[in-house]
A and B are shown apart, each in its own frame.
Chain A
């Protein structure tokens, strides 16, 4: 009821205002002013400078005039603002002031906004909502454009007869059936891959939501691969935040997914000596992909840099750990060495199929590395020198040489 009221008020205000203002201006101000200024102009046309014939405070009258009626209506009814309404009003004002604030905000989002502990947290949250809204709007616009284009095309090609082909059109559903068949097979014969779902307490709500999104993506690419893993979600508690987010993504399909979900720990499901925990903090570097081992990936998005959380978990259970050989194969540029879950999935799938590190590490985001360490080290050094002489001239060449030297030393040590 209250929100309806607010809405109504807003509609009234936004639609009536400009009209009233214009109306007011035209009726009361313009005729008078026009004649006045006209006569003024006529008299002193050539003599006066432009600032004198301008009424500089005219805007104030405009602003005040059209508003009297509306004010008298609103003042009486809403003296005291409730906290929610006040927050909504503030948001509206921020939007008018040109800040990054979403146009529409739901009651739930408003509540989250009010619960933010600090001003900067509030600002951040609003910016996030604002960007989300922008993306959504853009997507919608693109979709509509696409639809229009398609309609045009259809109208243009309506005259054509339907062509006959000797191939059956494979629809999505039959593709799905084929994929599902493969995954079902992997559930019996495939290599297990474990996602450790015990990090809920280490993450914020947004991080859990991101994690689940990444898991959904990884499940999708596993399903479409030639030889899928048998995915296990271990330490999975019913009615946990993970669970709720999964249901948001999968809806009814959640119960039909061809994966194993269990609240048991992986140490209870599999023999301990076969488990390898993959973590970027591990001192050990993975050399080859072992088809007889069971790899564990921690389902955690770590935005606040909590170093060593998953390593601690593996240490506690006395499991073997391993990190991807990123340093060995890539000239690392910047960014953290922890990868997203779907990138991990791509890498592991490629390793499983081909055993080719170069191919697998293509899935590391390009911004994070400069290139592959594909040639012998001395050749790499040569090209690096060449590039740098071209780039920086002679003086800095020396510095670069030093760098290349130390880098190659690091490589040979490993």
Chain B
């Protein structure tokens, strides 16, 4: 339905209502379309008046919808009036109304009301992150930075993930403000980005840069740059942090993988204890390997070729560099079939070690184990992103370690021509926000929403103190 352009009289509303398909929900539908078309609130008011006069009451539902319209148009006094009415009518409100009220009031000069509302919400539930976002933005807009940071910390304590918008607002409103305390808080935000592997987008990055350059008397300079593959920053010649895991992290990851991925709730789900033990002794006797190959995965690279030929090409290519290879496969590869020729398999076994798992076992788990057991220099070859195994890990910290380790240790093989394998050089430096005290290096995303989560940004912001 199209909402009318001018306020209507009761009779006119009645006529409209009767011509509507289902008169019971006429008011709701009408209000929805008013919100959609952003109708003048006078029209909405006239409908409310009509409803109030004919029913002696306006339902909560309609009030909320009217509120949405008011918030949309920033009608502060109306918002207050609706709030007062709701307050008289109902003991508490539900989250939808609170969201609207907080959003509406925080954008007005009565933003302190939004804070009291936030307190009210806290009594009955955990406020949403957008509730906090509105309040924090309102506080910082009015230069109450302490209050803003207080709310920010409160939000983190409740395990809510702040939006990038909030963080950006904090940087924006602190621009040019002096204060050691504030500076510490903002550095804290940067470290939060580091800990959670969040990359700011372009506009956020610009806010960070401007804030740094606005600190009076400290003389920060920011430059946009691309970091070289070696990890050297071309602007300040600073070497970025190494991407290797520390000894402790590495051991931790290995243990978690054995515990969560291979054994999980039941060892029998992915393998069997006997088989795993056999594999362990097999690996123990031949350590260390340089490259571990996921045989079945590699054998499917070129669908037109015979599967064992694909694998043969890969093994040949990698064996040239005098590396110790381990190929993982399943028992069915040994049977002489249309895709697996016995002679070729024999020939391959001279060049690399092979381990064949049962046909119903998961070979990926073995891949991870063999690579981790061989040590830090060992790489593995697969096109699989191993997401399902990552998901088996029980805590996010280990999952992050896994991803970091996977990024550097996964040799992605791109077969350009017949049998040429190009090894993509893995990143040598760690792609997170980092600092040395007088320099900051911040990776950022070019667009607002990066499509692929596994891609790390290549663009950096280099900030140094002169």
Contacts and interface: CB of A to CB of B under 8 A. Distances in A.
A74 interface: yes
Interface of B: 6-9, 12, 28, 42, 45-46, 48-49, 51-53, 55-61, 64, 81, 85, 88-94, 96-97, 123-126, 265-270, 272, 359-360
Interface in A74-103: 74, 78, 81, 86, 89-90, 93-94, 96-99
Interface stretch (A62-70, A247-255, A353-361): A62-70
A90 B96 CA distance: 11
B49 A59 contact: yes
Contacts of B359: 283
Contact of B269 (A21, A50, A71, A312): A312
A56 B60 contact: no
A367 interface: no
Contact of B53 (A25, A50, A311): A25
A63 B52 contact: yes
Contact of A67 (B9, B60, B89): B89
A51 B45 CA distance: 11
Contacts of B266: 309, 312-313, 316
A59 B45 contact: yes
A125 B98 CA distance: 22
Contact of B61 (A56, A74, A98, A315): A98
Given A78-B91, A283-B359, A313-B266, 4 more contacts: A21-B57, A49-B6, A57-B45, A97-B97
B49 A71 contact: no
A59 B51 contact: yes
Contacts of A58: 49, 52-53
A248 B360 CA distance: 40
B223 to A, nearest CB: 43
B339 to A, nearest CB: 12
Contacts of B53: 25, 58-59, 62
A22 interface: yes
A90 B6 contact: no
In terms of DSSP, what is the predominant structure of the interface of chain A?
helix
21 contacts: A56-B42, A56-B45, A58-B49, A59-B52, A62-B53, A62-B57, A64-B88, A66-B57, A67-B88, A71-B88, A81-B123, A86-B123, A89-B124, A90-B92, A90-B94, A96-B60, A97-B64, A97-B96, A119-B125, A309-B269, A316-B266
A152 interface: no
B89 A56 contact: no
B455 to A, nearest CB: 28
By Cβ-Cβ distance, the 8 closest A-B pairs, closest first, are: A312-B268, A59-B52, A93-B94, A96-B60, A56-B45, A62-B52, A21-B56, A59-B48
Contacts of B81: 60
Contacts of B58: 59, 62-63
Contacts of A21: 56-57
A307 B265 CA distance: 12
Given A21-B56, A58-B53, A312-B268, A51 B42 contact: yes
A54 B88 contact: no
Nearest to B8: A50
A315 B359 CA distance: 13
Most-contacted residue by chain A among B51, B61, B267, B269 (CB, 10 A): B269
B49 A56 contact: yes
B124 A315 contact: no
Contacts of B90: 93, 96
A316 B268 contact: yes
B269 A308 contact: yes
Contacts of B12: 50
Contacts of A50: 6-9, 12
In terms of DSSP, what is the predominant structure of the interface of chain B?
helix
Contacts of B89: 63, 67
A22 B54 CA distance: 9
A40 to B, nearest CB: 13
A55 B52 CA distance: 12
Contacts of B49: 54-59, 62
A93 B93 contact: yes
A200 to B, nearest CB: 13
Most-contacted residue by chain A among B64, B85, B266 (CB, 10 A): B266
A84 to B, nearest CB: 12
A60 B85 contact: yes
A119 B125 CA distance: 9
Nearest to B45: A56
Contacts of A312: 266-269
B94 A74 contact: no
Contacts of B45: 56-57, 59
Contacts of B61: 96-98
A22 B56 contact: yes
A18 interface: yes
A257 interface: no
A60 B53 CA distance: 11
A64 B85 contact: yes
A99 to B, nearest CB: 8
A382 B45 CA distance: 66
A166 B58 CA distance: 67
Contacts of A18: 55-57
B11 to A, nearest CB: 10
A93 B60 contact: yes
B256 to A, nearest CB: 20
A67 B52 CA distance: 14
A64 B84 CA distance: 9
A18 B268 CA distance: 66
Contacts of A63: 52, 57-58, 85, 88-89
Nearest to B388: A307
A391 to B, nearest CB: 28
Contacts of A49: 6
A7 interface: no
A122 to B, nearest CB: 9
B108 to A, nearest CB: 19
A131 interface: no
Contacts of B85: 60, 63-64
Given A56-B45, A93-B60, A74 B360 contact: no
A96 to B, nearest CB: 4
B57 A311 contact: no
Most-contacted residue by chain A among B12, B85, B270 (CB, 10 A): B85
A17 interface: yes
Contacts of A99: 94
A63 B85 CA distance: 7
Most-contacted residue by chain A among B12, B55, B57, B97 (CB, 10 A): B57
Nearest to B61: A98
A99 B91 CA distance: 18
A308 B271 CA distance: 11
Contact of A283 (B91, B272, B360): B360
A25 B56 contact: yes
A183 B89 CA distance: 63
A219 to B, nearest CB: 29
A308 B392 CA distance: 14
B7 A311 contact: no
A49 B56 CA distance: 26
Given A25-B56, A63-B58, A316-B268, A56 B7 contact: yes
Contacts of B360: 283, 311, 315
Contact of A56 (B46, B51, B55, B268): B46
